[in-house]
């Protein structure tokens, strides 16, 4: 690993990329006027850029490998240690709580608004975490339940004038029923087959909403969905945003509480056992079908409630908000944050939803950066931001 060797490697890499990006980056044809634009400068940038990036890349990979060896002895990361250490963790939670409470008063309406979006995704991520992180069922159609929640509020309000506070539990309940109905036929499927079938269900629900005009008003959507009322007080724009912010904060805290409880309950342990080994799990006398259905149903319920809030926030919904792409983003929040870990999922959701918003400064480059961040995160931290810490029991010789 001499310096010249390194340089030689990087030169090769940069030559390779100059070749690779040649047609797309250098040539631009205008087929109407038959003009070819040659952008040789781009090639130079690519060459120089990849030269340094490849050096950095190899350095990072080596560092990761070294750390991988080191962690064998001390396999808890910085964040995990904080979570486990009650002395640091509790004040930290208190501080975060304080920050959350004063947040809308410290920052602009826009910041509060995107924080609401991010917290909706925190809820979705935590819900999907039940299905994927705990029970190990890969669900690519999770957004369907989100849609069920959003549409049940919008439609019930439109036809029967149902208020937000009644719609919230009802939306969750309807989504739960859908979760169980959709979960039932797919119990036999495993792994990627399950993924594709749930993807199919997600698309079916969206397509039905899109085509069945009499029921869902089709692609033109439902406008003017009321924001949550506050004892008849007429709220201003910023007032209603702040109010919604506190509602979602409350719900997220409730979600965290419930999931935390679930995780250590009989059901939660059954899920984790099911994820690790189905056969052993059955042998231990756990009803596989019922456990899986519970995971589907409970996961769906949170999505339904998040959907109600989503409808109340945007005040307009149409099927375009519930594409496969949303399912993929929710899945990314769970995996990126660290499957199974509540803090992980929260940080993943905040990162993924706030990042594109803060990357607005880079305007057209924001999505390419977002894609690159996903890849880099997975390459350098495949377990997610915060790896889940499983309860371990040590056998101590006395």
Partner 1 sequence: MKLYFKILVLSLFVLIGFSAPGFAGDTIKLGVAGAHSGDLASYGIPSVHAAELVVKKINAQGGVLGKTVELLVEDDVCKPEVAGNTATKLVSDGVDVVMGHICSGATKSAMGIYKDAGIIAISPSATNPDLTLSGEYPNFLRTIAHDAVQAQLQVKFATNVLKVKKIAILHDKGDYGKGQAELAQKYFTTAGVDVALFEGVTPGAVDYSAIVMKVRRVKPDLVVWGGYHPEASKIVTLMRKKKMDTLFMGSDGVKDDTFIKVAGKYAEGVFATGPMDVSGNAMAIAAKKAHQEAYGSDPGAFFDAAYAATLALLNAVEKAGSTDYNAVMKALKSEYVDTPLGNISFDANGDAIGIGFSVYRVENGVFVEQK
Partner 2 sequence: MDFDYFSYLFFGGLTRGSIYALIALGYTMVYGIIQLINFAHGEIYMIGAFTGLIIASVLTMMGLPSLAVIIIAAAAAIIYASAYGFTIEKIAYKPLRDANAPRLSALISAIGMSLFLQNYVLLAQTSDFLPFPSLIPDFEFWEPYSHIWTSAELVIFITTVIVMILLTFLIKFTKIGKAMRATSQDKTMASLLGINVNRVITFTFVVGSATAAIGGILIASHIGQINFYMGFIAGIKAFVAAVLGGIGSIPGAVIGALILGWTESFFTGYISSDYEDVFAFLFLVGILILRPSGILGKSETQKV
Among 69, 361, 375, 390, binds partner 1 (CB under 8 A): 361
φ/ψ of residue 30, rounded to 5: -110, 100
Distance in angstroms (rounded) separating the CA atoms of residues 307 and 313: 10
151, 304 Cβ separation under 8 angstroms: no
- Kindly state the smallest distance separating residue 165's Cβ from partner 2, in Å: 34
> Is 63 an interacting residue with respect to partner 2 (CB under 8 A)?
no
From the list 213, 290, 247, 248, the residue with the least C-alpha distance to 126 is 248
Residue 19 binds which entry of partner 2, partner 1, none, with Cβ cut-offs from 5 to 8 Å by kind? partner 2
Q: Which of residues 106-165 bind partner 2 (CB under 8 A)?
A: 132, 138
Among 198, 321, 343, 388, binds partner 1 (CB under 8 A): 321
Residue 374 exposed, middle or buried by CB count within 10 Å (0-12, 13-18, 19+): middle
Contacts 24+ apart (CB under 8 A), 189-198: 191/138, 192/138, 194/137, 194/138, 194/139, 195/138, 195/139, 195/140, 196/140, 198/138, 198/139, 198/140, 198/141, 198/142
Question: How big is the chain, counted in residues?
Answer: 398
> Is 180 an interacting residue with respect to partner 2 (CB under 8 A)?
no
- Kindly state the smallest distance separating residue 355's Cβ from partner 1, in Å: 9
Residue 169 binds which entry of partner 1, partner 2, none, with Cβ cut-offs from 5 to 8 Å by kind? none
From the list 305, 19, 327, 276, the residue with the least C-alpha distance to 134 is 276
Measuring CA to CA, how many Å separate 398 from each of 111, 241, 391, 395?
56, 59, 21, 9
- Return the number of the residue (47 or 221) whose C-beta is nearest partner 1: 221
Distance in angstroms (rounded) separating the CA atoms of residues 176 and 254: 17
Residue 29 binds which entry of partner 1, partner 2, none, with Cβ cut-offs from 5 to 8 Å by kind? partner 2
For 94, the token pair is 């208190």
Among 2, 363, 396, 398, binds partner 1 (CB under 8 A): 363
The span of 61-69, 231-239, 261-269, 312-320 binding partner 2 (CB under 8 A) equals 61-69
Distance in angstroms (rounded) separating the CA atoms of residues 302 and 121: 11
Q: Three-state DSSP class for 38?
A: strand
Among 218, 229, 246, 374, binds partner 1 (CB under 8 A): 218
CB atoms within 10 A of CB 265: 11
> Is 94 an interacting residue with respect to partner 2 (CB under 8 A)?
no
Q: Which of residues 317-376 bind partner 2 (CB under 8 A)?
A: 324, 328, 331-332, 335-336, 339, 364-365, 367-368, 370-375
Among 88, 207, 253, 320, binds partner 2 (CB under 8 A): 207
Residue 168 exposed, middle or buried by CB count within 10 Å (0-12, 13-18, 19+): buried
Helices (H) and strands (E) in the chain, counts: 16, 2
- Kindly state the smallest distance separating residue 64's Cβ from partner 2, in Å: 7
Residue numbers at the binding site for partner 1 (CB under 8 A): 30-32, 78, 107-111, 113-114, 117, 210-211, 213, 218-221, 223-224, 236-237, 241, 310, 313-318, 320-321, 354, 357-358, 360-361, 363-364, 366-367
Residue numbers at the binding site for partner 2 (CB under 8 A): 16-17, 19-21, 23-25, 27-29, 31, 34, 36, 42, 61, 64, 68, 132, 138, 185-186, 188-190, 192-193, 195-197, 199-201, 203-204, 207-208, 211, 278-279, 324, 328, 331-332, 335-336, 339, 364-365, 367-368, 370-375, 377-379, 382-384
């Amino acid at each position: 690993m001499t310096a010249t060797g390194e340089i030689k490697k990087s030169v090769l890499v940069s030559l390779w990329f100059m070749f690779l990006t040649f047609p797309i980056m250098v040539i631009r044809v205008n087929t109407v006027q038959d003009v070819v634009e040659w952008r040789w400068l781009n090639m130079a940038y690519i060459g120089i850029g990849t030269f340094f990036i490849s050096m950095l890349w190899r350095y990072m990979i080596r560092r990761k490998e070294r750390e991988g060896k080191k962690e064998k002895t001390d396999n808890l990361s910085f964040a995990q240690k904080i979570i486990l250490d009650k002395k640091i963790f509790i004040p930290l939670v208190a501080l975060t709580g304080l920050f959350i409470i004063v947040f809308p008063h410290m920052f602009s309406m826009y910041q509060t608004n995107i924080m609401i979006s991010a917290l909706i995704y925190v809820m979705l991520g935590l819900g999907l975490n039940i299905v994927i992180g705990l029970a190990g069922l890969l669900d690519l159609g999770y957004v369907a339940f989100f849609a069920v929640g959003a549409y049940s509020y919008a439609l019930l309000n439109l036809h029967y004038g149902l208020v937000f506070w009644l719609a919230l539990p009802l939306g969750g309940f309807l989504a739960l029923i859908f979760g169980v109905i959709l979960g039932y036929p797919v119990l036999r499927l495993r792994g990627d087959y399950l993924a594709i079938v749930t993807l199919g269900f997600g698309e079916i629900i969206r397509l039905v909403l899109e085509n069945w005009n009499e029921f869902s008003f089709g692609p033109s959507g439902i406008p003017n969905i009321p924001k949550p009322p506050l004892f008849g007080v007429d709220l201003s724009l910023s007032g209603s945003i702040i109010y919604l912010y506190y509602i979602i904060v409350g719900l997220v805290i409730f979600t965290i509480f419930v999931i935390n409880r679930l995780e250590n309950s009989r059901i939660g342990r059954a899920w984790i056992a099911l994820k690790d080994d189905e056969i052993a799990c059955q042998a231990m006398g756990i009803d596989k079908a019922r456990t899986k259905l519970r995971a589907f149903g409970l996961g769906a319920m949170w999505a339904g409630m998040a959907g109600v809030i989503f409808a109340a926030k945007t005040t307009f919904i149409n099927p375009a908000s519930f594409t496969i792409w949303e399912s993929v983003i929710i899945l990314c929040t769970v995996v990126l944050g660290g499957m199974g870990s509540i803090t992980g999922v929260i940080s993943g959701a905040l990162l993924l939803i706030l990042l594109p918003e803060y990357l607005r400064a880079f305007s057209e480059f924001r999505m390419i950066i977002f894609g690159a961040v996903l890849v880099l995160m997975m390459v350098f931290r495949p377990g997610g931001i915060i790896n889940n810490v499983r309860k371990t029991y040590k056998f101590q010789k006395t």
